[in-house]
Structure 1
Amino acid sequence: MPRRTVLAAVAAAAVGGSASLAVDSAAARQGPRGRRGGRPGAANASGIEYRGWVCAADWRQGSASGVSVVGGSRPGVAFAAAQGTVDYADPHTGSTRAWEYATWLSPVHRPATPATELIASWNADTPAGSFLRVEVLGTYADGTDTPWYTLGVWAAGDQDIRRTSVDGQQDGKSSVWTDTLAVDDPAAGPLLTAYRLRLTLYRAPGSAAVPTVWRLGAMTSAVPDRFEVPATEPGPAAGVELTVPAYSQDVHDGQYPEYDGGGEAWCSPTSSQMIIESWGRRPSPEQLSWVDPDFADPQVCHAARFTFDYQYEGCGNWPFNAAYAATYPGLQGVVTRLASLSEAETLIAAGIPLITSQSFVESELDGAGYGTSGHLMTVIGFTAEGDVIANDPASPDNAAVRHVYPRRSFENIWLRTKRYDAAGNVKSGTGGVCYLYFPVSLTAAQRRALAAVGVR
């Protein structure tokens, strides 16, 4: 279905240094691809851990150069004083401009379990004339470090720079695949035992723009390779269905080829828009004024434009979708993994829908009517028998979006890390990747549910 593409790492790229912000865009495409301390009360057997910097105390733990900690209902770090200027050569516009910069560096974080993968996500406001870069420095079990890897050059808009991932980043032990830092050979190692995140905020020289970041974090994981995952029994969300708008990606087929042309390419922004609107947020008429008035559901077109990754050439960049969701007032977005379908039930029972990423051949998911090398859909509830109720955007129209998928089939195609394609070849699975969007103001039950899956 959608195009989540593995990018060939063909050159070692040292990007994000203090002298230049040029992005190496020479790498080639290969084709489709698919809390601190972990879960409470356990030895983190899942190997999944999300660590987020989100409260004022978190931000004060880091090293700030030119940023200040802001308080209030949504604490964060904001551009305060330029530490110099650097040139950024935008590979997607061909232009080079000078930008003032300021930085925040996280403390070293050591996950409870050595990791094979890391995915960062962030929530920010980048007004016109500003943007940000997120980087990671990992430490291996042998004591050596990765390079500073860029995990995203991002802006909420597209008037100043083109938001982009960076291809060609590798060091012989690990590589960055669009939005995911992955150890090249987990069986041989070495695995990642620690990391630091670096946030750099940019603004036009002399500008009064104040880019601000409210949440920065990373999910690390060491999910075991498996074709089958353990089955779970229906839990607290049996019989619960949340109210979530239903939007079809297929009705947009052929629209806006500059943003990958709608249809099967838009599962991620379509799913994101459904969940964003379930929390009562949506674009204003002014924000939608650029969309062709003949197109249905213009907010889906809007989501596609503002999640589009110009290097990946698609809308399926996981952190870019979470960051887009967080541009709406009072909304947060996180990319993480869940360890079981029971964890998804915990969220649904508390009123928090989720977006899941999965791949399968048609025979593996009854009722879907298609196979996919990678697809995003929303989980909005469970039947009384524990089957999954999903708003699946891979549907011919909005009326057909709601599906009920067999529990056992769904949990396996979502949570496994290995699968067979239609030709019998071994391919990768996402291992439970999901997007979680939720408001700043939460109920006590929602806070408990998020804490149960490692997010605060």
Structure 2
Amino acid sequence: MKKCFQSSLIVLLGLCLFAGMLPAAIMAVENPSVSYRTHVQNDGWQEFVTDGIMSGTSGRSLRLEGIEVKLDAPDYDLGITYQTHIQNIGWEADTDRGWQSNGAMSGTEGLSYRLEAIQINLTGADAAGFDVYYQVHAQNMGWLGWAKNGESSGTAGYSYRLEGIHIVIVPKGGNPPTGTVDQDAPFIERKSVLGNLMIQTTGSDFNENAMGLDRVEIVANSGDGAIVLKSGNQSGVYTSNIFNANSFTKAVLSWDTDTPDGTLVQVEARVCENAVDANGLSTENWSDWLSWGRWGTTINRSSGVGVTDGPVAKMDVDTLVVKDGKTANKIQYRVILHSGNAGVTPTVRLISVALRNANPGQGITKVFTDNPDLSNLPILNVPQLSQMVREPSIADSICSPTSVAMILNYYGTPVQPEGAAWGSYDYGYQDFGNWPFNTAYASSFGYHAYVDYSTIEGLKREIAGGHPAAVAVAYKNSASVNANLPVIDGAPIRSTYGHLIVVCGFTQENGTEYIIINDPAASSDAGVRVRYRLDQFAAAWAESGNITYIIH
């Protein structure tokens, strides 16, 4: 029987070959092949390439503007669909363009718009049997890691062009070709600063928004996250991704740290100026990395250390200022950690970025993500401390640390104004009023503390949550005082061009709204608690851009 079956099969094969055909069960099946071509700046449409060959250019800094992708898969029920993220347009699926498929163009032609990212999917009954892999070369990033099956590949939101692409199809579970990979991630999403404030404090914040971890790592820290030196290292650098932002003229970075003896941190940022090229297209003009100086609780901390000036922006002690009245719309920060002792590391628990646009009519709207009840606000029992009865040699200069001391004592941390003053003193600027140095000092006791450009609503939210806040004001206490300053009736000193006070609550009397303040400029502790008309306070606070110390 066995021989008879073999003989019959041979005869059958012979007949089939004679007829020019094979049985379906043993017919040779071709694997799917993918073909693609790109429209390249200055070059136009290139010829189609297949199965992992690069389309685009290398080393010429030319943008991809369009792409067509198609399959050669006659033996399968298989199709391909794709969309690109296009300059000035965004993802095609978010517009009436929609996804493209089977050789249609994705992108633009004749508009000089760059492609910034791409997604590709397989369709059809046989799609479950294959994976489509794709890899892009992105401006300033190089070759990104392989993406597959609809994942994003590229740098949407960075304004970086795609310059080249590889596409391959492999059987399900197979691997893409090995090759050059400059960045492991297939897609680096640029996130945005919400409103005018961004706070990074969790492990996911630091991990997901990291561009570089140089001899540092992210560790769990009491439920949050922290940047520390890797074991065996005495210096390291954490570099964040770039963040998009509303147009701003000023930025204040602040930080929460633990700096054991012999350790310090240095916080820096760079910003990208709003600029256009000769064709009216947006272009990137980055500042230098600018430094807030060196911070530590056991060192002579100092601003003015590192680069503090450049063609795009400069440091004004504690504030990064975009030059010439221009604005920036991107920001990136980095934190440099140092230790003089092997095995001892500083810990960075929070980084905050507060932005302000000081150009008339261009202020940034504050964004809140919740909706608390702001009626019947309490008046917080914040201890009253006058700076004027403290150490005479520094008494008239320590409004900022005295305000911090009042808040810390309210929370149960017994700190004297003189201790807060020397704990936050800026040995470079030789002053007690460095904003992020004051909040960093508060953070050294374990608090979350940062600098914000806030609003009246923001202050009411703090009070509703049981949190006093320190604010920077400039005022005169009478219209008769010869100074170009807002008037606050009843203020304890004739005039000040820069002064920190503590907001303790709000009240209304006879239809007039008042804000309850601890003003450390009073001549005695008993005289510190005052109330100011809210409209007068608001004008005085606006002189600083609404600078606020938030301490929780």
Question: Which residue is 1:57 aligned to?
Answer: 204
Question: Which residue is 1:435 aligned to?
Answer: 549
* Matched residue type, 1:64: L
1:106 equivalent among 233, 236, 240: 240
Is 1:216–2:351 an aligned residue pair? Answer: yes
Give the 3 Å change call, closer, same or farther, for CA 409–37 of structure 1 in structure 2: farther
* Matched residue type, 2:541: W
Question: Which residue is 1:87 aligned to?
Answer: none
Distance 1:127 1:165 in 2: 22
Question: Which residue is 2:436 aligned to?
Answer: 319
Question: Which residue is 1:202 aligned to?
Answer: 338
Pairwise CA distance, 1:196: 1.0
* Matched residue type, 2:417: V
1:81 touches 1:102 (CA, 8 Å); kept in 2?
no
Question: Which residue is 1:275 aligned to?
Answer: 407
Is 1:382–2:506 an aligned residue pair? Answer: yes
Summarize deviations over 1:3-43 as a string: whole Å, max 9, x none: xxxxxxxxxxxxxxxxxxxxxxxxxxxxxxxxx8566xxxx
List aligned pairs for 1:20-419, cutoff 5 A: 44=195, 49-61=196-208, 62=210, 63-71=212-220, 72-81=222-231, 100-111=234-245, 113-142=246-275, 143-158=284-299, 161-166=300-305, 169-186=308-325, 189=326, 191-204=327-340, 206-225=341-360, 236=374, 238=376, 240-254=378-392, 261-283=393-415, 299-329=416-446, 331-338=447-454, 340-363=455-478, 364-369=487-492, 370-385=494-509, 386-415=513-542
SS in 1 for 2:499: strand
Please, what TM-score do these two structures have when normalized by structure 2?
0.57
* Matched residue type, 1:149: L
Pairwise CA distance, 1:165: 3.7
Return 5+ residue gaps in structure 1 as ranges: 1-35, 84-99, 227-234, 255-260, 284-298, 416-428, 439-456
SS in 1 for 2:244: coil
Give the 3 Å change call, closer, same or farther, for CA 320–162 of structure 1 in structure 2: closer
Give the 3 Å change call, closer, same or farther, for CA 38–75 of structure 1 in structure 2: closer
Give the 3 Å change call, closer, same or farther, for CA 168–80 of structure 1 in structure 2: closer
1:167 touches 1:176 (CA, 8 Å); kept in 2?
no
Distance 2:217 2:274 in 1: 34
Distance 2:207 2:374 in 1: 38
Give the 3 Å change call, closer, same or farther, for CA 207–282 of structure 1 in structure 2: farther
Question: Which residue is 2:82 aligned to?
Answer: none
Pairwise CA distance, 1:350: 1.8
* Matched residue type, 2:432: C
1:140 touches 1:192 (CA, 8 Å); kept in 2?
yes
1:167 touches 1:178 (CA, 8 Å); kept in 2?
no
Distance 2:302 2:449 in 1: 17
Give the 3 Å change call, closer, same or farther, for CA 324–349 of structure 1 in structure 2: same
2:231 touches 2:343 (CA, 8 Å); kept in 1?
no
- How many residues matched? 329
Pairwise CA distance, 1:342: 2.5
Give the 3 Å change call, closer, same or farther, for CA 167–68 of structure 1 in structure 2: closer
2:378 touches 2:506 (CA, 8 Å); kept in 1?
yes
Q: Which has the larger radius of gyration?
A: 2
SS in 2 for 1:282: coil
Pairwise CA distance, 1:319: 0.2
Distance 1:38 1:197 in 2: 13
* Matched residue type, 1:144: N
Distance 2:528 2:470 in 1: 14
2:356 touches 2:545 (CA, 8 Å); kept in 1?
no
Distance 1:79 1:102 in 2: 6
Pairwise CA distance, 1:185: 2.4
**Relative contact order (C-alpha < 8 Å, sep 6+): which is higher?**
1
Sequence identity (%)? 27
Distance 1:123 1:358 in 2: 24
1:166 touches 1:178 (CA, 8 Å); kept in 2?
no
* Matched residue type, 1:387: Y
Give the 3 Å change call, closer, same or farther, for CA 345–224 of structure 1 in structure 2: farther
SS in 1 for 2:378: coil
Distance 1:238 1:377 in 2: 22
* Matched residue type, 2:461: T
Distance 2:521 2:551 in 1: 21
Pairwise CA distance, 1:151: 1.3
SS in 2 for 1:274: helix
Pairwise CA distance, 1:322: 0.5
Distance 2:260 2:395 in 1: 30
1:133 touches 1:150 (CA, 8 Å); kept in 2?
yes
Pairwise CA distance, 1:393: 0.3
Pairwise CA distance, 1:168: 7.6
